Structure 1
Amino acid sequence: MADFSFDVVSRVNMAEVVNAVDQTRREMQARFDFRGSSASVSLDEKRGEITVIGDDEMKLKNVIDILQTKLVKRGVGLKALEYGRVEDAAGGTVRQVITLRQGIPQEKAKQMTAAIRESKLKVKAEIRGDEIRVSGPKKDDLQAVIQLLRAKDFGLELQFVNYR
C-alpha cells in the first residue's frame, strides 16, 4: 500500500503583500490625520522587507496598524512579520523595517519534528531544506499531525501543501 504525505511550509504570498502595501498607501493619502505628514510605507520584494516611516512613533504605529489590517484582510498571517527596531531617520522621522519570513528555520524544523515524534503517531517527518515532509501509511495519522502542528505555536505561519 502506498504511503501518503504532505509538506509543511511557511511561505508568504508576495502578490498579496504588494496589494496590502498599495492599499495602505491609498488609505494614508485619504486619511485626514496623515495630511502633510511624511509618513510612508515601501516594499522591497527582492529582499522581502517592508520599510515604514513616520513623523514620530505614534504615526509609525498608526501606519503599522493600517498595514497589519490590510495584510490580514488579504490572508497574510502576522506571524510571518519580523519587526526590526525603531530607529531615527532623516528629517526628524522614525523608521522601522519589517522583514517577511519565508521558509522554516532549521531550529524550528527540529522542534516540529521532535513534537511529531513525541506524539507517537505512525508517521515519518524529515527536514528538507526550509520545509518538512511528513509521510505515513494512514491519512488519519497525517490529519492528526496537521491538528497537532496547528495546536502548538511555533511562532510561524504554517501551510500544509502537496497532500497526497
Structure 2
Amino acid sequence: MAKESSFDVVSTVDMQEVDNAFQQAKKEISQRYDLKDSGAEISLDKSGGTITVAAPADFVASQVIDVIGSKLIKRGIDLTAVKWGDVQAASGGSVRRTATIVDGIDKETAGKINKDIKAQKLKCKVAIEGDKLRVSSPSRDTLQEVIAFLKGQDYGQPLQYVNYR
C-alpha cells in the first residue's frame, strides 16, 4: 500500500448534459404559451461554454433564464456553475444576457481553498496544478476531514473530489 494517499479537487461541468438541458429549454420556450410568440431566443456555444438569451424585455429574459435553470437542475448541473452577466441593451429595445459555464478552478479560488485548508491545521499537503488542486496526506482519515470541510464551504462554484487513492 502506498504510504501517501491523495485526491484531486476539480470543478467540471458535463457539457453534454448542458446541451441536453439547452435543447429541452429551447423546446419548452417554443411551446410555452407565454413565451411562444414573445421573440425570446437562446443559443449555446459549446466550445466557448456560453449561453446567450435574447428577449424583447428584461422580464421575458428572466423567465427564459428560469426555464434554463430548471432544466439544468433536472439534468444534475449545479446552478453555481453558471455565471450570468449583466443585462445588455440590444437592437430594437430588446435585451441580451450571456452566461459563462465555469469549468476549472481559477487561481484566486484555488489560492483561497489552499489557504482555508492550511488554516484547519490538518497534516496534509495541498498543491495547485493548473485548474485543479491535489491534496495528499499519509492518513486517509485526514483526507476525509478535508473533503468534509470543503463540502461545508461555498466558493461560488461546484467542487468535485476525484482520483481518491
Show CA shifts across 1:51-86 (max 9, x none): 011110110000000101111111111111111111
1:5 matched to which residue of 2? 6
Unaligned runs of 5+ residues in structure 1 are none
Query: What does the per-residue CA deviation read over 1:74-108, in whole Å, with 9 as the maximum and x for residues that have no partner?
Result: 11111111111111112321100001111111111
How many angstroms apart in 1 are the aligned matches of 2:157 and 2:37? Answer: 37
Instruction: Say if 2:78 is the partner of 1:70.
Output: no
Describe the superposition over 1:117-160 as per-residue Cα deviations: whole angstroms up to 9, x where unpaired: 11111111110011000011111111110111111111111011
Letter in 2 for 1:33: D
Instruction: Give the aligned partner of residue 16 of structure 1.
Output: 17
Q: Which residues in structure 2 correspond to 1:1-164 (within 5 Å)?
A: 1-164=2-165
- Percent of aligned positions that are identical: 45
Residue type of the partner of 1:149? Answer: L
Paired residue secondary structure (2:47): coil
State the one-letter code of the partner of 1:109. Answer: A
Amino acid at match of 2:88: E
**Distance in 2, Cα, partners of 1:111 & 1:78:** 21
Name the CA distance, whole Å, in 1 between partners of 2:134 and 2:81.
20
TM-score (normalizing by structure 2):
0.96
The CA distance in 1 between the partners of 2:13 and 2:135, in whole Å, is 21
- Flag structure 2 segments of 5+ consecutive residues without an equivalent: none
Stretches of 4+ aligned residues off by more than 2 angstroms: none
Rounded to whole Å, the distance in 2 between the matches of 1:118 and 1:36 is: 55
